[in-house]
């Protein structure tokens, strides 16, 4: 009897344990799912900091039936926050590209102005140089115009010593002191041209060779000094022709020479060829 009861009791106990173990298996499985859901739910909140993303992930955790499906839902819900970062990067890149394009567009506007200034600074020195290098043409002027000028006439400059200048001025004073500036210049030119012809610049030689008879003891006036300076210092000429001799009164020999000009009653000649 005891054995049977024991057996019966043992059988009941075994049956109860089996039932209990069968009841615990679903609870353990559900607990495992809840724990896995909790573990997966925590990182999704860090990936999706907004309240809506957190609520969506939480709702997905409660609505899916398996772990794989749950993980896929969490990944899809968390992926919504990623485009926000990429959109910000794209916006920054577009802003940077627009700034570069604006800078490139403004560069060509300022470049031509610099080139124009450089061209203006490059042309100014050339114009000044051309003005400086232009030769200054010395225009030879004559005191009196004549009918038969000699365009090839080009007298050589004669430099006078102090002695020759002083005696030459007194000679011109004796020959043409009362004839004015032009008359004095004609006599001074005839002396200069005689010096060029003879190759001798001594006033004593010219007086003796060309037969000057005027006195040389009278101090020269201002017309004489100015005329001698014009002919000898400036190498000027009274007329555009050589003059070698002159006379007043009557002279058959002078009239056989090449007549140039008259000043008052004095007639000036060049030697006949």
Single pTM value for the model = 0.51
Do 70 and 56 form a contact (C-beta atoms < 8 A)?
A: no
Q: How far is CA 121 from the centre of its chain?
A: 3
Residue 58 CB coordination number (10 Å): 16
Helix (H) / strand (E) element for 246: namely: strand 245-248
Do 74 and 40 form a contact (C-beta atoms < 8 A)?
A: yes
Looking at the DSSP bridge assignments, the partners of residue 269 are: 245, 259
Looking at the DSSP bridge assignments, the partners of residue 139 are: none
Cα angle value 38/44/50 (rounded, 5°): 125
151-178 pLDDT, tens digit per residue, is 999 999 999 999 999 999 999 999 999 9
Phi, psi of 261 (to 5 degrees): -160, 155
pLDDT score of 140: 73
pLDDT score of 51: 46
Cα 154 from Cα 78, distance rounded (Å): 111
Of 246, 264, 265, 242, the residue nearest 255 (C-alpha): 246
Cα 266 from Cα 183, distance rounded (Å): 9
Return the residue matching tokens 């003059």.
243
Cα 169 from Cα 228, distance rounded (Å): 7
75-98 pLDDT, tens digit per residue, is 555 544 444 555 556 556 666 665
Joined tokens for residue 255:
């009239």
Kindly give the parts of the chain with pLDDT less than 50: 1-9, 12, 15-16, 39, 41-54, 59-64, 70, 79-83, 108-126, 129-130, 133, 135-137
Phi, psi of 184 (to 5 degrees): -65, -40
């Amino acid at each position: 009897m005891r054995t049977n009861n024991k057996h019966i009791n043992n059988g009941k106990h075994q049956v109860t344990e089996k039932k209990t173990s069968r009841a615990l298996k679903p609870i353990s499985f559900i607990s495992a799912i809840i724990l896995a859901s909790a573990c997966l739910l925590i990182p999704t909140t860090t990936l999706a900091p907004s309240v809506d993303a957190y609520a969506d992930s939480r709702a997905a955790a409660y609505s899916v039936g398996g772990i794989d499906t749950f993980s896929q839902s969490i990944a899809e819900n968390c992926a919504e926050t990623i485009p926000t970062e990429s959109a910000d990067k794209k916006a920054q890149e577009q802003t940077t590209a627009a700034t570069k394009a604006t800078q490139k567009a403004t560069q060509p506007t300022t470049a031509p102005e610099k080139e124009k200034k450089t061209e203006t600074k490059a042309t100014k020195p050339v114009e000044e140089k051309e003005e400086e290098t232009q030769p200054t043409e010395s225009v030879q002027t004559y005191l009196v115009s004549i009918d038969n000028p000699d365009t090839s006439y080009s007298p050589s400059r004669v430099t006078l010593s102090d002695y020759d200048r002083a005696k030459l001025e007194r000679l011109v004073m004796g020959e043409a002191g009362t004839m004015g500036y032009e008359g004095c210049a004609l006599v001074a030119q005839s002396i200069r041209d005689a010096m060029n012809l003879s190759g001798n610049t001594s006033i004593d030689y010219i007086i003796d060779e060309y037969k000057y008879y005027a006195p040389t003891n009278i101090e020269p006036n201002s017309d004489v000094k100015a005329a001698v300076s014009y002919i000898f210092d400036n190498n000027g000429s009274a007329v555009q022709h050589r003059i070698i001799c002159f006379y007043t009164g009557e002279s058959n020999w002078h009239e056989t020479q090449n007549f140039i000009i008259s000043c008052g009653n004095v007639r000036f000649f060049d030697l006949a060829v």
